[in-house]
Structure 1
Amino acid sequence: MIEIDQLSLKARACVLCEDLPLGPKPLFKVDEQAKILIVGQAPGRKTHEAGRPFLDASGVRLREWLGVSDEVFYNDPRIGILPMGFCFPGTGKGGDLPPRAECAPAWRRSFLAGMPSVELTLVIGKYARDWHLPDRKNESITQTVSDWKALAPDVIPMPHPSPRNNRWLKQNPWFEIDVLPILRERVRRALS
């Protein structure tokens, strides 16, 4: 098994998607000590430009949901961030394009094997759900997230924290009422 540091160096030099509008710039945060794994879809334009995952409005909300500071989120090796696509895929009519299909098959299994201590996986959005919970591919995100108790305590499916999901959050207040307190407690325990 390749060490995660070596794997990270190789992945940061990846050019599988050299035709991307802003070019390849793999963004992820991994460590063999990771206890919490955050699985999103792909970096947005702002995070691509900043060179840091979730350094945008989605990240602000995500850190609030988790109950962690910026310092902990970015610097604690027990928090890993492994999106389905490592690079900004570009923008389409409805927002950012989906993660590129080449990325996950090239890197995902090796990275997951290199983080044996993960005890909580946060599965954010459709693309992460389809990979990590393939038997739920035909469900809506609302169905998957509403059945979170069946997957907890090891996996918690979540909607994307993007401001584009404000409507979803208003229509589904149970997420903030029922899921977030449990999520924060699981995060607190994993980091204690």
Structure 2
Amino acid sequence: MSEALRREIAGCRLCGQHLPHGVRPVVGFSATARLLIIGQAPGSKVHESGIPWDDASGDRLREWTGLSKDEMYDPARVALVPMGFCYPGKASGGDKPPRRECAAQWHGRVLEVLPAKRLTLLVGMHAQAHYLPEHRKWSMTERVREFRSFLPDAFPLPHPAWRSTIWMRKNPWFETEVLPELRAAVSEPVAGADRGAS
């Protein structure tokens, strides 16, 4: 089922006319992945390589979570499902936001494939706005500070772009309070794959 869905996503051309750099869906998942990472959309480097989080943001996210590259890129352990599967192109000050068609078309079907018991990292404001609509009025900082209220199902995080280093300097509690609990929360579903959990 998951392989057929991955092939279907790879052939998606739903919003191709709006993608100035062409269509290249970048996503990874399997029916056993108990850690789900929902980010924003591929950047230009990920668009070129076709590998999710294959950039400086991915390096920072792995540092935050304690995941190795082998763990992050093992679809039996980790599902990598951005809000938009294709690179949306540049805007002033950064990349354009993810195309909205993508989550509406594909996320529900992908989530049906994943184990019901899973931890979802909601990385950045787009993922949090979509999956935590009742907390949309909160700032991203407030959602991250109150991460315990979303456990054990979800864990909101800032996007690990270069700007996050400025945010972390302004919010030192993130490194001292949040990151140790993030690494502990992530380790359980990832280790569960080794035990044959589903």
Shorter-chain TM band: over 0.9
Equivalences for 1:35-50 in 2 at 5 Å?
35-50=34-49
SS at match of 1:31: coil
CA distance in 2, matches of 1:163, 1:60: 11
In structure 2, the partner of 1:4 is: 2
Structure 1 residues 11-160: aligned runs within 5 Å = 11-19=9-17, 20-160=19-159
Aligned-partner Cα distance in 2 for 1:72–1:54: 13
CA distance in 1, matches of 2:143, 2:190: 26
Q: Partners in 2 of 1:143 and 1:187 — Cα distance?
A: 21
SS where residue 36 of structure 2 aligns? strand
State the Cα distance separating 1:141 from its structure 2 match: 0.5
Between 148-157 and 53-62, report the one with greater CA deviation.
Answer: 148-157
Match in the other structure for 1:171:
170
Corresponding residue for residue 194 of structure 2: none
Report percent identity of matched pairs: 43
Deviation at residue 116 of structure 1 after TM alignment: 2.1
Q: Following TM superposition, by how much is the alpha carbon of 1:75 offset from its aligned partner in structure 2, in angstroms? A: 2.2
Structure 1 Cα separation of the partners of residues 102 and 117 of structure 2: 21
Indicate conservation of the 8 Å contact 1:36/1:119, yes or no.
Answer: yes
Cα deviation, 1:90-132, whole Å, max 9, x if unaligned, reads: 1100201000011111101011111024421000111100111
Distance 1:42 1:118, change over 3 A: farther
Q: Is the 8 A contact 1:17 1:23 kept in 2?
A: no
One-letter amino acid matched to 1:50: S
Q: Which runs of 4+ in 1 moved over 3 A?
A: none
Work out the CA distance in 2 between the residues paired with 1:159 and 1:71: 23
Contact map agreement 1:43 1:86 (CA 8 A) in 2: yes
Shift of 1:72: 1.4
Amino acid at match of 1:137: R
Aligned to 2:182: 183
TM-score (norm 2): 0.93
Deviations 1:139-162 (A, max 9, x none): 210111111111122211000011
The answer for unaligned runs of 5 or more in structure 1 is: none
